[in-house]
Amino acid sequence: MSDQTFTLDDQEIPFAPGQSVMQAALDAGVFVPHLCYHPEFRPHGSCKLCTVKINGRPATSCTTPAAAGLNVESNTPEILDKRRTLLQMLLVEGNHFCPSCEKSGHCKLQALGYELGVMTPHFNLIYPDRPVDASHPDVLLDFNRCILCELCIRASAEVDKKNVFSLSGRGITKHLIVNAESGRLADTDFALTDKAAQVCPVGVILPKKQGFSIPIGRRRYDAASMSAHVDEFKPTAKVQEERP
């Protein structure tokens, strides 16, 4: 640990050279909301849930390098309000029907929603048409819940070396696709043991043949909020699987 520090909501946060503001905060046991960040991957900076104010200016904490003397505001009413709006944007963009989702209770989108007090999606639902892909023997893809964090894309390319997923389209039509001529997961070499099968923060990539083995109500984020799990997100953490 170095003796360099910055301030986050009146707390002194030490940091090591090369760490981002968010990594340093998580390392110090201070939770910063996030969805596209994963300790084992390079920061992505797309979900914007980790937005903070640094020296009075909005910044993305997962991609901003830590520096001595920064004044970081995170849990202010203004920033929490923006994060709630971002969550609501993600909720209306997809089709999120939590009561029937196998990921409920393990889902970071849902967990952050509860933690930040998002009681409704607020905006008019967009209702995208995203057919599921049930072609693979072991894995179901329910694209309705995809938040485009690209973690599966990154895991499949960088860890599994398979390049199973990529993105297509732009703006609101942007969507996850499977890299096969048929577009079907069954026609790739994707396997349940792939890293890409374990990183989805929401309920898109789900194992088949095991439903609700842990009852809803007794799942990870049912018992304790995401911030209570802060140790699991530390840059050094050996990450638990995201699967139920």
Partner 1 sequence: MRGRGGAGFTTGLKWEACRNAPGKTRYVICNADEGEPGTFKDRVLLTRQPDLVFEGMTVAAYVTGASKGYVYLRGEYRYLLEPLNAVLARRRQDNLLGKGILGRSGFDFEIEVHMGAGAYICGEESALIESLEGKRGVPRNRPPFPVTNGFLNQPTVVNNVETLAAAALIAAKGGDWFKSFGTAKSSGTKILSISGDCERPGIYEYPFGVTVRQVLEECGAKATQAVQISGPSGICIGPDEFDRRIAFEDIPTAGSFMIFDIRRDIFEVVRNFINFFAHESCGFCTPCRVGTTLLKNMMEKIAAGHGTRYDLDEIYKLNRVMQSAAHCGLGHTAGNPLVHTLEKFRPAYERRLKSLEFEPAFDLDAALSQARQMTRRDDSAAHFDSAQENA
- Name the site residues for partner 1 (rule: CB under 8 A): 43, 45-49, 51, 58, 60, 63-65, 82, 85-86, 89-90, 92-93, 123-124, 126, 147-148, 167, 169-174
Buried b (16+ CB within 10 A) or exposed e, 160-173: bebebbeeeeeeee
Among 25, 90, 147, 197, binds ligand SF4 (CB under 6 A): 147
* First CA to last CA distance, the chain: 34
To the nearest whole angstrom, how small is the minimum distance from the Cβ of residue 93 to ligand SF4? 11
Distance CA 227, CA 225 (A): 5
Q: Work out the angle between the directed axes of helices 77-93 and 108-116 (0-180°, nearest 10).
A: 140
Q: Is 24 left (phi over 0), alpha (psi -120 to 50) or beta?
A: alpha
Q: Which 3 state secondary structure label does DSSP give 96?
A: coil
Number of residues engaging ligand SF4 in binding (CB under 6 A): 13
To the nearest whole angstrom, how small is the minimum distance from the Cβ of residue 85 to partner 1? 5
To the nearest whole angstrom, how small is the minimum distance from the Cβ of residue 138 to partner 1? 30
Instruction: Specify the stretch interacting with ligand SF4 by CB under 6 A; choose among 66-74, 114-122, 148-156, 220-228.
Output: 148-156
Among 204, 206, 226, 230, binds ligand SF4 (CB under 6 A): 204
Residues that bind ligand SF4 (CB under 6 A): 146-152, 176, 199-200, 202, 204-205
